[in-house]
Amino acid sequence: MEKTKTEPIECRLMVIGAGMAGMAAALFAARRGIATVQAGLTGETLYASGLFDLYGVSPGTRMLIDDPWQGLKRLRQDHPRHPFGLVSDHQIRSAMDLLTRFLDEAGHPYRGYPDQNARVITPVGTIKRTFRVPATMWAGVTALETKAPCLIVDVKGLRGFSAKQIVSTLKPSWPDLTAASIDLPRENRMGPKYAEHIARGLEVEAGRRELAEAIAPHLGQAKAVGLPAILAIHGTETVRKALGQMLGVPVFEIPTMPPAISGIRLKEAFDAHMPALGVNTFYQHTVHAISRLKDGRFVLEIGRTEPETTVVAEHVLLATGRFLGKGLVAGRQGIGESLFDLPVSQPENRGCWHRETFLDPRGHAINLAGVETDDRFRPVTADGRPVYDNLYAAGSILAHQDWIRTKSGTGLAVATAYGAIEAMDSFHP
């Protein structure tokens, strides 16, 4: 039987992508009252540590950045084509504030310093610079600063997080750090433990009490307790505070290896709250075909495995990510853009994609590939003209940036989404 298709949906903006750039763009558009439709799979968010990096490492020199604003000033001078050159500090601050306010309202508060990166313990015991930190991790930032006596705890059978490893790496600079490995009797002792299962189990009082009872005998002189980021999916702050009360000292989370519970938290917060802002969401849907009407509007066919819904949009924002997100595809002929066949700025040939050593501090040319835009975030042709007047791009698909090396994933996604939406709204009010 042939499927009946629904009436086309008309909107001012179609956001393609549901990673951090797409989510931020839809959020900023909704806050401006722009009728927005959004489609995309979960994207890289599920891998997210929960930390919102802005600018943590300078490219080339690998210098660690404590003041991201000073760092960005330098970056714009030394790398004028970097997409951070398209947004002002004020726009970046506004973008980050809007995002963290949204997450606060959704039950996931964030903390950070106005002008400095915070230092956070990583799951391997190194220290990472980042701009915004889930409130559940903030007591760890303070403990690291003061080097207070602290207990790091892991759960036996939970892979990818070893308290012993973290402590042995940090101990030279933090002598009063101790490690403990605990059992959770309600979890299956025989097999591996699953972080999501433990996290959901801690949403109930009995689960929290069991965890506190398992930690208490190891407490000693500790003034704070660090745990892997598994303290519930929803109401994490409540769970963290309740555990702290049971133990008599503050408890904090330490980011875990990807895929992480922090990513599930973000995904569920966006999934649940974006529709309430008025965004017409088609999550787990992709765009299958695109055409253009005579008046310039885009017609997009979206669906799960085949076209189910037609969207007619005055403007489109492309936030389809890089290779993982599937915004870019690499083949024998080079790197292409997957939806509009946009020109992609890229190394001359495949032989230039990578340097000889994977860890070469200068990075790899392929990681700077992407879509080039004008100063209004519209993808451009080789001679610098916008491909379409009403097509914008934001996030990791943009050329001339290597967010992995510069530790600027979320910051770049969110700042460019803000810049693109502001450009679209002010030039086409």
Which positions lie near ligand FAD, rule CB under 6 A?
A: 16-22, 39-41, 43-45, 47-49, 51-53, 258, 286-287, 319-321, 324-327, 339, 395-396, 403, 409-410, 413
Instruction: Please say which residue, 241 or 288, places its beta carbon nearer to ligand FAD.
Output: 288
Distance from C-alpha of 11 to C-alpha of 39, rounded to nearest angstrom? 13
* Residue 342 CB, nearest approach to ligand FAD (Å): 13
* Residue 239 CB, nearest approach to ligand FAD (Å): 22
Instruction: Please say which residue, 222 or 371, places its beta carbon nearer to ligand FAD.
Output: 371
Closest CA to 373 of 393, 390, 346, 402: 393
Distance from C-alpha of 249 to C-alpha of 39, rounded to nearest angstrom? 44
Distance from C-alpha of 357 to C-alpha of 349, rounded to nearest angstrom? 18
Instruction: Please say which residue, 22 or 201, places its beta carbon nearer to ligand FAD.
Output: 22
Instruction: Please say which residue, 226 or 395, places its beta carbon nearer to ligand FAD.
Output: 395
Q: In angstroms, what CA-CA distances link 184 with 151, 157, 287?
A: 17, 10, 44
Instruction: Please say which residue, 44 or 314, places its beta carbon nearer to ligand FAD.
Output: 44
Closest CA to 34 of 416, 316, 261: 316
Instruction: Please say which residue, 47 or 176, places its beta carbon nearer to ligand FAD.
Output: 47
* Residue 212 CB, nearest approach to ligand FAD (Å): 28
Instruction: Please say which residue, 212 or 261, places its beta carbon nearer to ligand FAD.
Output: 261
CB 399 within 8 A of CB 345: yes
Instruction: Please say which residue, 121 or 413, places its beta carbon nearer to ligand FAD.
Output: 413
- Furthest-apart CA atoms within the chain: distance in Å: 73
Identity at 168, one-letter amino acid code? S
* Residue 111 CB, nearest approach to ligand FAD (Å): 15
* Residue 256 CB, nearest approach to ligand FAD (Å): 11
Backbone angles phi, psi at 283, to 5 degrees: -75, 150
* Residue 173 CB, nearest approach to ligand FAD (Å): 22
Q: Which residue is nearest to ligand FAD (CB)?
A: 19
Looking up tokens 């660090």 gives 226
Instruction: Please say which residue, 122 or 178, places its beta carbon nearer to ligand FAD.
Output: 122
What angle, rounded to 10 degrees, do the helices at 409-427 and 89-105 form?
100
Q: Which two tokens stand for residue 342?
A: 């946009």
* Residue 414 CB, nearest approach to ligand FAD (Å): 9
DSSP designation for 161:
-
Distance from C-alpha of 186 to C-alpha of 197, rounded to nearest angstrom? 11
Distance from C-alpha of 422 to C-alpha of 27, rounded to nearest angstrom? 12
Looking up tokens 């701009």 gives 131
Q: Where are the alpha helices (DSSP H) in 79-180?
A: 89-105, 138-146, 163-170
Identity at 174, one-letter amino acid code? W
* Residue 27 CB, nearest approach to ligand FAD (Å): 12
* Residue 99 CB, nearest approach to ligand FAD (Å): 11
CB 417 within 8 A of CB 95: yes
Closest CA to 127 of 162, 174, 93: 174
* Residue 25 CB, nearest approach to ligand FAD (Å): 9
Instruction: Please say which residue, 228 or 325, places its beta carbon nearer to ligand FAD.
Output: 325
